[in-house]
């Protein structure tokens, strides 16, 4: 493999970042009393603001909550982003697609003859409104398969980890997890980035396992400025990682390879896997600064960090062509 012939597609744009870039923490999937959440939008915002998030997308079912009057403090290093969850049912299956930061009203997404068609209609409706779409909880009710997603146009994001109890994120019982779904699509050449989200509904009382309470899954997005456009563009370009607790201080992709820096938590131990085509583990490392040099024939490389306390971080795939 000649080094000079290796070209990394800048789907992960780490190499061209201005020095002012920083990580901001956010949740892209949140309900309020405007749909089936149990708290008012202002109190929902308050929870995330008080828990050191920098942004929150309010995404009620088929309804955009006006965030301009809620997010009035310009100096609190926190922004609300408008959005909605396009919510369609096909018999027992659920096709839900978030539309982040729409510029115009989102037109009704028609239910199609197939799940794939309904998904495409929802993605198209989001894009037509200037919004960034993400496909939600694909394995809730086992609604969405790799076949349903493989030909979607205009989609870059899906919920790899919707942390609610029924989301079936992990492979079991002979069924694939969302990570297997992801690798199946990436192996087909689909450029797709994985989000973690709370899909929050419950803010009151004890945070019991059956409730969808806040603070369990989030994204860390790299931006130069904290604005809805900057956050949503960075998400759509894959300049973020998904986390349920693992913190990374650096995610670096160059033409030569992929490198991370893990911020350790007390005596927690970490394993990082660099993963490629068909979900094959290309390299496994235990250090706090794991790295992987590209060979050039991987198709794509992504990184997964798992910690001895069960927490995870997923870094986005970088597509490589010879
Ligand atoms: Zn949903
Ligand atoms: Zn939801």
Q: Any idea which fold 1-17+248-322 has?
A: Immunoglobulin-like (2.60.40)
Q: How far is CA 108 from CA 111, 129, 135, 225, 262, in A?
A: 9, 11, 16, 32, 43
Distance between Cα 49 and ligand 1 center (Å): 23
Tell how far the Cα of 263 is from the centroid of ligand 1, in angstroms. 32
Q: In angstroms, what is the span from residue 123 Cα to ligand 2's centroid?
A: 16
Helices (H), the chain: 41-50, 115-128, 146-149, 178-187, 228-236
Q: Considering only CA atoms, which of 307, 301, 302 is closest in space to residue 288? A: 307
Who surrounds ion ligand 2 at CB < 5 A?
85, 199
Report CA(31)–ligand 2 centroid distance (Å): 6
What is the Å distance from ligand 2's center to 204 Cα? 17
Predicted confidence pLDDT, tens digits, the chain (322 residues) = 444 444 444 444 444 444 479 999 999 999 999 999 999 999 999 999 999 999 999 999 999 998 988 988 888 999 999 999 999 999 999 999 999 999 999 999 999 999 999 999 999 999 999 999 999 999 999 999 999 999 999 999 999 999 999 999 999 999 999 999 999 999 999 999 999 999 999 999 888 999 999 999 999 999 999 999 999 999 999 999 999 999 999 999 999 999 999 999 999 999 999 999 999 999 999 999 999 999 999 999 999 999 999 999 999 999 997 6
Map out the domains of the chain as residue ranges.
1-17+248-322, 18-238
Give the number of whichever ligand sits closest to the CA of residue 60. 2
* CA 85 / ligand 2 centre spacing (Å): 6
The CATH homologous superfamily for domain 18-238 is Metal-dependent hydrolases (3.20.20.140)
Fold agreement (1-17+248-322, 18-238): no
pTM of the entire structure?
A: 0.93
Question: Could you tell me the distance, in angstroms and rounded to a whole number, from the CA of residue 163 to the centre of ligand 2?
Answer: 11
């Amino acid at each position: 493999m000649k080094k000079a012939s290796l070209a990394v597609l800048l789907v992960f744009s780490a190499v061209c970042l201005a020095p002012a870039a920083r990580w901001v923490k956010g949740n892209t999937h949140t309900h309020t009393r405007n749909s089936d959440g149990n708290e008012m939008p202002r109190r929902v915002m308050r929870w995330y603001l008080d828990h050191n998030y920098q942004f929150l997308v309010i995404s009620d079912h088929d309804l955009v909550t006006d965030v301009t009057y809620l997010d009035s403090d310009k100096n609190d290093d926190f922004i609300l982003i408008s959005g909605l969850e396009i919510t369609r049912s096909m018999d027992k299956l659920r096709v839900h697609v978030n539309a982040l930061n729409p510029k115009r009203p989102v037109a009704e997404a028609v239910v199609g003859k197939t799940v794939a068609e309904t998904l495409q209609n929802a993605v198209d409706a989001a894009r037509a409104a200037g919004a960034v779409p993400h496909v939600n909880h694909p394995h809730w009710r086992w609604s969405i398969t790799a076949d349903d997603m493989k030909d979607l146009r205009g989609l870059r994001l899906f919920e790899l980890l919707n942390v609610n109890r029924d989301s079936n994120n992990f492979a079991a019982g002979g069924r694939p997890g969302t990570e297997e779904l992801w690798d199946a699509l990436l192996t087909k050449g689909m450029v797709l980035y994985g989000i973690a989200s709370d899909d929050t509904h419950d803010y009151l009382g004890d945070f019991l396992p059956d409730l969808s309470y806040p603070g369990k899954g989030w994204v860390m997005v790299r931006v130069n400025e904290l604005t809805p456009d900057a956050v949503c563009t960075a998400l759509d370009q894959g300049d973020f990682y998904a986390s349920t607790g693992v913190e990374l201080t650096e995610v670096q992709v160059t033409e030569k390879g992929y490198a991370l820096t893990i911020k350790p938590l007390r005596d927690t131990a970490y394993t990082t896997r660099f993963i490629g085509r068909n979900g094959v583990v290309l390299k496994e490392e235990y250090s706090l600064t794991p790295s992987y040099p590209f060979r050039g024939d991987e198709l794509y490389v992504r990184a997964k960090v798992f910690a001895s306390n069960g927490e995870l971080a997923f870094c986005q795939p970088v597509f490589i062509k010879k």
